[in-house]
Chain A
Amino acid sequence: MTFLFNTGRTSAQGTGLEHKSGPEYREATSVCRMNPVDLMQLEIEAGERIRAAGPGGVVVLRVAASDDIPQGTVFVPLGPYANAVVGAETHGTGMPDYKSVEVEVEPTDDPVPTIDQLMEAVGGLAYLEEER
């Protein structure tokens, strides 16, 4: 199904900003809020996972139900998960389309990747604090 993809700040995402290697930030930014009616149409329940494909790529997200999200749209907090979907075209403004991007959403059993896995997928090298 096609949805309009919106990103934005949330207080959970904001409080995780100072410890982005922690689980709170990962939890806060990998959640996709959707209208319960859309969840029914996708035949999934809150807590299950979807795969969102947009102009920048594909990412697996955990779903949460929210009456505040209009039908036909999904909301993902600003962060590395949302940006896996956003394209780099700025239409001559310097600003990518972080709001109102069309994405294809489908249910999946794939796991939500860790942030390190997302960064390694683009060529990075995880820095593991616990090994040091």
Chain B
Amino acid sequence: MIHRDMICPFCGCLCDDLVITTEGNEVVQVDNACTLGTHKLMGAWKNRLKNPIMRDGGEWRDASYEEAIEYAAGVLLDADRPLLYGWSSTQGEAQGLGVSMAELLGGVIDSTTSVCHGPSILAIQEVGHPGCTLGQVKNRADLVIYWACNPTEAHPRHMSRYTTYADGFFLENAFRDRKLIVVDVRKSETTSIADEFVKVKPGGDYAVFSALRAIVRGRADVVPDTVAGVSKEQLVRIGAMCKEAKFGALFFGVGLTMAPGKYKNIRNAIELVDELNRYTKWTLTPLRGHYNVYGSNEVFTWMTGYPYAVDFSRQIAFYNPGETTAVDILARKECDACLIVASDPGAHFPKACLEHLTKIPTVLIDPMHTVTTPLCRCQIPTAVNGIDAGGTAYRMDGVPIHVKKFMDLGYPSDTEVIGRIFERIQEVKHP
């Protein structure tokens, strides 16, 4: 069977033009997707956990959904400071239930945002977000900057759908007319196709943004001969390209948010874009990783007023990244239970955090055997959104897209499982 116009549930590009061919319960062909999306769609049905599993002393045993859901609810009800973490690879409907559950439990809910573009949000809260949809970039941008990111490997279709290799409605010959600047600490596949590759010394991004801001303001005289390994000559050339562009789009990755300076790097990037908007049109967009991490920020914000790291222990929504973020709570050994949904802190959190996860009752809701599996006491497999479940996801530019289901493997969705855990909690908290 051929399924057209399907949505790829891998990265924040949420490509919406996939053609997926299935034979029974098997995906046999995926057209239009990148290597990452193809791999996920072709293989996801193979590597599923068959049923819930629970730890029994020193070994694992199979469990029923009823037993695992009862256990998860009990763990959360018994906890004084439960942490509900993850939420980026699941549907918006499940995220909403998670927020309601965290509020009722008086717990903390945080998404993977805190270890990807959390610092970008902190900067946006300080100085605003000059953003636009990817359609605007595709059709108008004649200069694109990728800063501290490698879309060729992390968002492989970003360039063909929205920038370098895409046609543009307002560009006569988009491929020729659209210039590309790549800023990174190392050469990569993306840097090799750039019109200008700016190689910055690690940790030097903030200084380079400051130098460019000075040049754009007409104060090149205060810029030294080299800034973080970049020659003044190149910076002046780039400053001129940015001012001469009709529509510029700056995309950046976690190379800025994870590096020294963190949110201050992003703040400086936004202020450069602000500066450029005095001369021409410029926008800025973080390259979001998980396909619905942006959705977690949207859902959390419209329900609590805050985009991630929301603490309900005061009976009101409280937000203080650095204190209420998952890594900090785990490193301080503060939470006494953890529910992890659709994410893999085992693969992405520092070791000190993982040590605490193994000491408290941790429940994982995830379709596959992941690096977090050995760290938890109970895992509940669910359907994969975009394969055997459907729901809402937000693209990296904030456009909500309905991710479609095209097969049924008999697994409940995240929304169903979390809904059932929430029902048990409500029965106790609001009998």
A interface with B by C-beta (< 8 Å): 4, 6-11, 14-15, 17-22, 29, 56-57, 67-70, 73, 75, 78-80, 83-84, 86-100, 115-116, 119-120, 122-127, 129, 132
Contact B374 A95 (CB under 8 A): no
Q: With A and B bound together, what is the CA distance between A8 and B202 in angstroms?
A: 13
Are B35's CB and A11's CB within 8 A? Answer: yes
For B350, the chain A residues whose CB sits under 8 A away are 56, 83, 86-88, 96
> Is B53 in contact with chain A by the CB < 8 A criterion?
yes
Q: A8-B255, A11-B36, A95-B119 are in contact. Are A56 and B262 (CB under 8 A)?
A: no
Cα distance, A104 to B291, chains bound together (Å)? 35
Nearest-neighbour CB distance to chain B for A50, whole angstroms, equals 18
Residues of B within 8 A of A78 (CB): 347-348
Q: State whether the Cβ of B218 lies closer than 8 Å to any Cβ in chain A.
A: no
Contact in complex: A98, B254 (CB < 8 Å): yes
Residue of A nearest to B325 (CB): A94
- Can you list the 9 inter-chain pairs with the closest CB atoms, starting with the nearest? A94-B325, A123-B358, A92-B322, A124-B374, A88-B331, A68-B187, A119-B374, A98-B258, A94-B114
Supplied contacts A70-B199, A98-B258, A124-B358, 19 more A-B pairs, CB within 8 Å: A8-B150, A11-B36, A11-B152, A18-B40, A21-B368, A21-B369, A21-B373, A67-B187, A68-B188, A73-B186, A78-B348, A88-B349, A93-B118, A94-B114, A94-B322, A95-B262, A119-B375, A125-B55, A127-B373
A124 and B322 alpha carbons, distance in the complex (Å): 26
- Judge if B125 is at the interface, Cβ distance under 8 Å: no
Q: Is B58 a contact partner of A90 (Cβ separation < 8 A)? A: no
Which A residues are CB-close (under 8 A) to B154? 9, 11, 14
Determine the chain B residues whose CB is within 8 A of the CB of A123 once the complex forms.
354-355, 358-359, 375
Tell me, yes or no, whether B296 is within 8 Å of chain A by CB.
no
Considering the complex, give the chain A residue whose CB is closest to the CB of B151.
A9
Set of chain B residues within 8 Å of A95, measured between Cβ atoms: 114-115, 118-119, 257-258, 262, 325, 327
Of residues 54 to 73 in B, which have CB atoms within 8 Å of A's CB atoms? 55, 58-60, 62
How far is A75 from B368 in the complex, measured between Cα atoms in Å? 27
Chain A residues with Cβ below 8 Å from B323 are 92
1/0 contact string of B231-270 vs chain A (CB within 8 Å) = 0000000000000000000000011011110110000000
**Which B residues lie within 8 Å of A96 (CB)?**
115, 258, 327, 349-350
Residues 333-348 of chain B, each 1 if its beta carbon lies under 8 Å from chain A, else 0? 0000000000010111
- Measured between beta carbons, the chain A residues less than 8 angstroms from B375 are 119, 122-124
| Closest Cβ–Cβ distance, residue B131 to chain A (whole Å) | 21
Among A20, A94, A124, contact of B354 (Cβ-Cβ < 8 Å): A124
Query: Total number of A-B contacts with CB less than 8 angstroms?
Result: 195
B78 interface residue per 8 A CB criterion: no
Known: A93-B321, A129-B369. A79 touches B347 (CB 8 A): yes
Query: How far, in angstroms, from A79 to B349 measured CA to CA in the complex?
Result: 9
Option from A73, A86, A91, A129 in Cβ contact (under 8 Å) with B262 = A91
B44 part of interface (Cβ distance < 8 Å)? yes
B368 CB contact (under 8 Å) in A19, A56, A80, A90: A19
Closest to A78 in B: B348
**B223 at interface (Cβ–Cβ under 8 A)?**
no
Chain A CB within 8 A of B403 CB: no
CA–CA, A97 and B349, complex, Å = 11
Given the complex, which residues of A lie within 8 Å of B36, measured CB to CB?
11, 14-15, 17
Contacts of A97 in B (CB 8 A): 258, 260
- Would you call B417 an interface residue if the criterion is a C-beta within 8 Å of the partner chain's C-beta atoms? no
CA distance A4 to B223 in the complex (A): 26
Between A and B, 20 residue pairs with Cβ closer than 8 Å are A6-B202, A11-B36, A15-B39, A67-B187, A70-B185, A73-B186, A78-B347, A78-B348, A80-B347, A83-B354, A90-B331, A91-B322, A95-B257, A97-B258, A97-B260, A99-B203, A122-B351, A122-B355, A123-B355, A127-B53
